[in-house]
Chain A
Amino acid sequence: MIPVAYNLRSLAVRRTTTLATAFGVALVVFVLASARMLSEGIRRTLGQGGRADTAIVLRKGSDAELASSIEEPMVGLVLAAPGVARDSRGGGLGVGEVVVVITMEKAGMPGQVSNVLVRGVPDHVMQLRPEVRIVAGRPARPGTDEVIIGQRIAGRFVGLELGRSFELRKNRPVVVVGVFAAEGSSFESEIWGDLNTVRNSFGREGIVSSVRVRLESPAKFDAFAAAVAQDKQLGLEAMRETDFLRKASEGTAEFVGILGMLIALFFSIGAMIGAMITMYASIASRQREIGTLRALGFSRLSILASFLLEAVLLALLGGLVGAGMSLLMGFVRFSMINFATWSEVVFSFSPTVEIIGSALAFAAGMGVLGGLLPAVRAARLSPLQAIRG
């Protein structure tokens, strides 16, 4: 076989065209890897926080908390259903919560607004969500106009800072007394206030959006769900929290993933044409070298493999640069509307070995496709024709 050093050094000698072509491939890999990292980040953010032993109950036919409405007396019936774990006082361990969306002005962007999700929670909510912890300030006192905010939206909207106040609704000011973390889940993009304060502010007295219950064990879910569904008067349905969150993240994550893939595919056509032009030019200027190799006894297949390898190396160089650039996106926070709640959620780009590996494989594939025709042309040159140049 022709030594790899021959290909590597040939690329280095033509460094301007090599870098220009590699940059094209790098852009494609950057877009592809970044989109997939964002898609993964969305899945992790929206899908995180779910527990197998927790069920969420919504109005039948509602696939999101925002569209669900449950009368308060039904909460007690749900908590009394079989399979629900008991708290220290013997009551069913669960919470009824109300969810609303408000419009807020983005910090540092006068006139630009976005939706933020507000969750009205009862005072014992932390019993059900031990993963939530206060990272600044203190918890909100029950029955007051105090709220706590997720750490991902802290500072991103006007008034969402510790000690500052903002209007939950016109003439309904609330004050931020704490900032909480929730293991990177979408709760970190929410405002949590007292259940009754939120309900009263939005005229939803006596109503909750969802009921979350802790089950005695994950295996108890079927019996619990059957009991909830059996009572036609309730008109409710239960889902495992993990399934609910996965479903909520699917639409947004797939949208971003597919959009990224389409953009990358579109760009990749340009990058492949760039690689092809570079390789054709390279082969044209190295005809004598090719002819000499053929004269020395290297087969057509050796020549084909060598130039194909060179194209793949060129593309991989771009791929590595693009993958490196995409890894830097891990430091960037990105906000977008969650299709399930129509509120803004802050995501981070989540790199995985699989994403980086497949992006590099995509780059190599571009190298193969872009380099194949020029390599075939090189292999088909007759030694004499090539030596003459």
Chain B
Amino acid sequence: MAAPQGHLSPAEGAYRSEPQVRAIARLRGVRKVFQRGAERITVLDGLDLEVPDGSFEALMGPSGSGKTTLLNLIAGLDRPTAGTIEVAGANLTDMTDGELARWRARTIGFIFQSYNLMPVLTALENVELPLLLTKLPAAERRKRARTALRVVGLEHRLHHFPRQLSGGQEQRVAIARALVSDPQIIVADEPTGDLDRHSADEILDLLERLNKEFRKTILMVTHDPHAAERATIIRRLDKGALT
């Protein structure tokens, strides 16, 4: 597989052997309470967490343990009820909706369990989407989207629509979309949840490669112990607290 050019910067050497000196995400006293009718459900309760820059973390735990909520808070998709969240040098707690959207576009790459591709756009157009939020000219956007698709091994499926791709291929397009804008962090919510074992292994190989070669910090929520084994750090959540 060819290495991407230009905006993607592959790391040299093995990441596991390097010291981890900086936290890319820092959570202090984070509390998240959901209101469901008259009932108040505390999902996260005073959680403290530091995510080292360049790590590949797996968040595990039973359903309802708060792992997806934690992922959404770090990704700027949700706001805490209390506490502070600092990610990639930005205090998310103080940001407006618009500022958060711009910050997400610059900082976070998303991978969803159900791929979440636009069904009416081709693979190339789907991958180009995040770049429409930049000032890059159209030709450059196309070039970068092609490069990202080459990284995930789909250079021969550029003009295919999601319905013309297998589940594994769709998720690879989603990974290309997540990395095309060169974000510091990639968040993946059950990225292999809808895939067979073979396709899941391919996706995990890719995530591992993004972490090792391109030094992307990866936060992955998973139920699957086999998937979690690929991470450098495994954290477990139970009843809103890290165990």
Query: CB within 8 Å of B: which residues of A?
Result: 1-3, 5-6, 9-10, 12-13, 288-289, 291-300, 383-384, 387
Contacts and interface: CB of A to CB of B under 8 A. Distances in A.
Given A1-B132, A297-B101, A297-B130, A13 B119 contact: yes
B158 to A, nearest CB: 15
Contact of B78 (A296, A297, A384): A384
B241 interface: no
A289 B121 CA distance: 11
Nearest to B106: A297
A309 to B, nearest CB: 14
B98 A9 contact: no
Chain B contact surface mostly: helix
Interface of B: 72, 75, 77-78, 97-98, 101-106, 110, 112, 114, 116, 118-121, 125, 129-130, 132-133, 177
Contacts of A293: 129
A195 to B, nearest CB: 73
A2 B101 contact: no
Contacts, number: 64
A296 B132 CA distance: 10
Contacts of A5: 120-121, 125
Contact of A10 (B114, B120, B130): B120
Given A3-B125, A384-B72, A298 B101 contact: yes
14 contacts: A6-B118, A9-B121, A289-B118, A291-B116, A292-B112, A292-B116, A293-B129, A294-B101, A295-B110, A297-B133, A298-B133, A384-B72, A384-B78, A387-B112
B120 A13 contact: yes
Contact of A296 (B103, B121, B125, B133): B133
A292 B116 CA distance: 7
Contacts of B110: 292, 295-296
Contacts of A6: 118, 120-121
Contacts of A289: 116, 118-119
A6 B161 CA distance: 12
Contacts of B118: 6, 289, 292
Given A295-B75, A295-B104, A300-B101, 9 more contacts: A2-B132, A5-B121, A6-B121, A12-B120, A288-B116, A297-B106, A297-B130, A298-B105, A387-B112
A66 B4 CA distance: 88
Contacts of B119: 13, 289
Given A295-B110, A296-B104, A297-B102, A387 B130 contact: no
Nearest to B72: A384
A92 B110 CA distance: 91
B166 to A, nearest CB: 20
Contacts of B177: 296
A384 B132 contact: no
Nearest to A389: B114
A43 B216 CA distance: 72
Contacts of B104: 295-297
A293 B133 CA distance: 11
Contacts of A294: 101
A293 B103 CA distance: 14
Highest count of chain B CB atoms <10 Å: which of A10, A291, A387: A387
B39 to A, nearest CB: 18
B77 A384 contact: yes
B132 A295 contact: no
Contacts of B129: 3, 293, 296
A234 to B, nearest CB: 78
A294 B133 CA distance: 11
A297 B106 CA distance: 8
A1 B131 CA distance: 10
Given A3-B125, A383-B77, A384-B78, A296 B105 contact: yes
A293 B119 CA distance: 13
A384 B76 CA distance: 10
A6 B126 CA distance: 10
A297 B129 CA distance: 10
A382 B143 CA distance: 32
A300 B116 contact: no
Contacts of A300: 97-98, 101
A68 B141 CA distance: 77
A299 B102 CA distance: 8
A134 B47 CA distance: 98
Highest count of chain A CB atoms <10 Å: which of B75, B105, B112, B116: B116
A364 to B, nearest CB: 23
